[in-house]
Amino acid sequence: MNMKVAISDFTLEQVLNLKDLEQLFSHFAKLTGIDVSLHDPEGREILAYRLNPEKNICELVKSRQSNCDFQMKYAGLKSADLGQPYIFQCGTMVKCSVPILFEEKYIGSLACGPVLLWDADEIARGDLINFAKTYHIPQEDADSIMDCVKQLSPENMRSAAEMLNLMVSFMCKEESIFLQQRTKITKQQNQIADLIIEKRINALSMETMEKRNKFRKYPYELEKELIAFLQTGDNKNAMQILNSILGEIFSLSSGNLDIIKANVYELTAVLMRAGVDAGVSLSDMSQILRKVTVILSDDTLYDEVCLLTTEVMEEINKVISANKFKKQSNENLINAISYIKKNYRFDLSLDNVANSVFVSSYYLSHLFRDEINMTFSDYVNKVRMDEAIKLMKETHMAIQDIAIKCGFSDASYFTRTFKKYHGITPKKYMSLYF
């Protein structure tokens, strides 16, 4: 067997989802009437779908001592060496082997058949009966096999094999791309881990966790900011907010992966709606939908959830940019938000913020209501509340000093506002969390 074929270090089980592949085999066999099987580089059968297994010569022979593995090994390597489907005689019938390549290295093969490329006449039937005798298969079983065998032309056989190969090659390509993106996962996980560590979740008892969850809410306001940044093409700020939201989701879930997936799936739905609202066509969005649905899969792990969510956002950002569609209203809102975040310590009014971004106060007021479903004053207070939490976490400042630092005129007003947003007083909040 003098063939120079580079063998992959990966196995078929590592690269292909056998559960998905089994479904693919089922649909392929029912559509074409051709049985199909998967083999490793040594020719061993890893997976097969046969329409009538009790009337299939391969199924009957494999339970007996045979040289099937050697034949399939040779056929698979030959197809890899040729770089195309390899049709060969197997027993008294015909099979077609197609190579599976992963990152340009041979990882196994697909086999279609057996079929007949000629009439199922008495000569073909006699050959099969004689072949079956060598494996002690009764003549009546051989007759049943001949009655069920598929008859094809060589062209149709090759086309069916090519069709199956294209689908499996796509699965391999998807896995290869995923492996290349592992560094992206690591980077993002570090960022999210920092956010979770800051909240000191691991140091809290279950009792404290239960108390905390009574007052903590899913960050819907952050979603609004994320959509605004996304629709205006500000990918850097969008990515920062996305990681903050993911950090909140993971903290609130207490490590329950099902809850994480449900919340992240909801978030990606929001991202997709943002893309449609920004003028992206439904056909473009449908290409992204596949990644969104994978998030809920039982096989999707924690770090893959993060990667898929990031990729959904990045792809939506790309199609928005490709459509060159920007909402001027959102650009004005982003400018106003930026001004508020820089100047929240000072006395902020709707008029002076509107003047700073060169729009009318009436228009700006409606932007906050229409785009992020908040009044101007509520948003200013939200920004101040976020800064207050940060100061509580990072400093030992008194409540009065935190209030002044966050732009409140006195501690009493700060306490009332804080309780409105978090359900408890600043002092109680600090005792629970810090």
CATH number at residue 93: 3.30.450
> To 5 degrees, how large is the angle CA 269–CA 270–CA 276?
90
Q: What is the C-alpha R_g of the chain?
A: 31
The pLDDT tens digits for 350-378 are 998 988 888 888 888 888 887 777 889 88
Examine the domain organization and report whether 309 and 349 are in the same domain: no
Cβ 78 vs Cβ 97: under 8 Å: yes
Q: Which two tokens stand for residue 361?
A: 């106060």
> What's the chain's average pLDDT?
77
**DSSP H stretches of helix in 138-294:** 139-148, 154-180, 182-198, 206-215, 220-231, 235-253, 257-277, 282-294
Identify whether 2 is part of a domain. no
Identify whether 5 is part of a domain. no
pTM score: 0.42
Cβ 260 vs Cβ 250: under 8 Å: yes
Going by DSSP bridges, is the β-strand pair 150-151/105-116 parallel, antiparallel, or unpaired?
parallel
Identify whether 4 is part of a domain. no
Examine the domain organization and report whether 114 and 24 are in the same domain: yes
Examine the domain organization and report whether 138 and 73 are in the same domain: yes
Identify whether 272 is part of a domain. yes
Q: Is the pLDDT of residue 261 over 50?
A: yes
- The lowest-confidence range among 35-39, 125-129, 230-234, 382-386 is 230-234
Examine the domain organization and report whether 162 and 50 are in the same domain: yes
Examine the domain organization and report whether 78 and 191 are in the same domain: no
- The lowest-confidence range among 120-129, 158-167, 216-225 is 216-225
Identify whether 7 is part of a domain. no
Name residue, tokens 């063998």: 7
Q: Which of 304, 323, 342 is the last residue of a domain?
A: 323
Q: Which of 272, 289, 323 is the last residue of a domain?
A: 323
Q: Is the pLDDT of residue 28 over 70?
A: yes
Cβ 364 vs Cβ 350: under 8 Å: yes
Examine the domain organization and report whether 272 and 284 are in the same domain: yes
Examine the domain organization and report whether 112 and 255 are in the same domain: no
How many whole angstroms separate alpha carbon 434 and alpha carbon 431?
6
User: What mean pLDDT comes out for the span 21-31?
Assistant: 85
How does DSSP classify residue 424?
Answer: S
- The lowest-confidence range among 91-105, 173-187, 204-218, 346-360 is 204-218
pLDDT value, residue 197? 53
Q: Which of 147, 180, 213 is the last residue of a domain?
A: 180
Identify whether 6 is part of a domain. no
Number of domains in the chain: 3
Q: Is the pLDDT of residue 183 over 60?
A: no
C-alpha torsion 399→401→405→408, nearest 10: 60
Q: Which helix (H) or strand (E) holds 324?
A: none
Res. 212 pLDDT band, cuts 50 70 90: very low
What percent of the chain is predicted at pLDDT more than 70?
Answer: 78
Examine the domain organization and report whether 42 and 156 are in the same domain: yes
Burial 366-392 (b: 16+ CB within 10 A, else e): ebbeebbebebeebbbbbbbebbbeeb
Identify whether 386 is part of a domain. yes
Q: What is the span of the domain harbouring residue 148? A: 12-180
Examine the domain organization and report whether 292 and 427 are in the same domain: no
> To 5 degrees, how large is the angle CA 293–CA 297–CA 267?
50
The enclosing domain of 383 has a CATH number of: 1.10.10.60
Cβ 271 vs Cβ 312: under 8 Å: yes
Identify whether 140 is part of a domain. yes
Examine the domain organization and report whether 119 and 260 are in the same domain: no
User: What mean pLDDT comes out for the span 413-431?
Assistant: 84
Examine the domain organization and report whether 81 and 173 are in the same domain: yes
Examine the domain organization and report whether 195 and 159 are in the same domain: no
The pLDDT tens digits for 396-414 are 888 899 999 999 888 888 8
SS3 state at 49: strand
Mean pLDDT is highest, among 26-35, 273-282, 288-297, 400-409, for: 400-409
Q: Is the pLDDT of residue 29 over 50?
A: yes
